[in-house]
Amino acid sequence: MIASNLLSHTLVPLRTSDSGKEALSIMSDFYIKHLPIVNNKELLGVISEDDILNYDVEEAIGSYQLSLRRPYVREKDHIYDVLRLISEENLTVIPVVDVENNYLGLISQEDLIRFFANIGSFTEPGSIIVFEMSKRDYSLTEIARIVESEEAQVLSSFITSSLNSARIDVTIKINRQDIQRIIASFERYEYQIKASFQETDFFDSLKERYDSLMAYLNV
């Protein structure tokens, strides 16, 4: 999955001649706090709600000083790069450009949430196990081998870590709802299990939170 697969053309970029008031109105309508500024096909930058509120909203945004550098992703950047940049820059939208730096469209936080919520590992039935371990002890191959020895499969995994800690949390999703034997196998190998969730306990709660978020974004 690359950036061009998630392009949204619903939101039209701003022009330098648009007023701060017009920009705020669009942001309010779509529940975002950032918008790209484009001149013809050239991406000039990204303006934030705070930038506008620091100036006269009746003035053209071309006269404003932008607080953000010119953040963007390229059309063939991986979706993980999109997620990383949105997180690092604390953005609600990110512009997408082609190899010649022409503006193509944008990707919003909502686009990313929908994508990750609908990928197969979230929708396929299964259970969750969370381990705590040292970074040097982590081996997804070994974890998968233990799961597969119980005739199950790892559907997805991710790591939560801190730069200041030698320990990590490893979360895996397994394609089985009855995981007692799998948990027992991990305990025999002295894995520290921090938590486990069956689909009915975990995903109902996750779906409820997702639906609540989507309802909020679509108000």
pLDDT in tens, 60-73: 999 998 888 889 99
Confidence of residue 163 (pLDDT cuts 50, 70, 90): confident
Confidence of residue 211 (pLDDT cuts 50, 70, 90): low
Share of the chain above pLDDT 70, in %: 88
* Whether pLDDT at 132 is above 90: yes
- In the chain, list all ranges with CATH 3.10.580.10: 3-108
Overall average pLDDT of the 94-122 stretch: 85
Q: Whole-model pTM above 0.75?
A: no
Overall average pLDDT of the 189-195 stretch: 94
In the block, which residue shows the tokens 């997408």? Answer: 96
In the block, which residue shows the tokens 């934030």? Answer: 48
**How long, in residues, is the chain?**
219
Q: Residue 183's pLDDT is what?
A: 95
Overall average pLDDT of the 33-56 stretch: 94
Q: Residue 125's pLDDT is what?
A: 79
Q: Residue 79's pLDDT is what?
A: 87
Q: What is the CATH number of domain 3-108?
A: 3.10.580.10
**Closest to 108 measured CA to CA, from 36, 166, 209, 171:** 36
Overall average pLDDT of the 23-44 stretch: 94
Q: What is the CATH number of domain 120-213?
A: 3.30.70.260
Any residues with CB less than 8 A from the CB of 188 and at least 6 apart, and which? Answer: none
* Whether pLDDT at 153 is above 70: yes
* Whether pLDDT at 219 is above 60: no
Q: Residue 113's pLDDT is what?
A: 83
Q: Residue 10's pLDDT is what?
A: 84
Largest CA distance in the chain: 68
- In the chain, list all ranges with CATH 3.30.70.260: 120-213
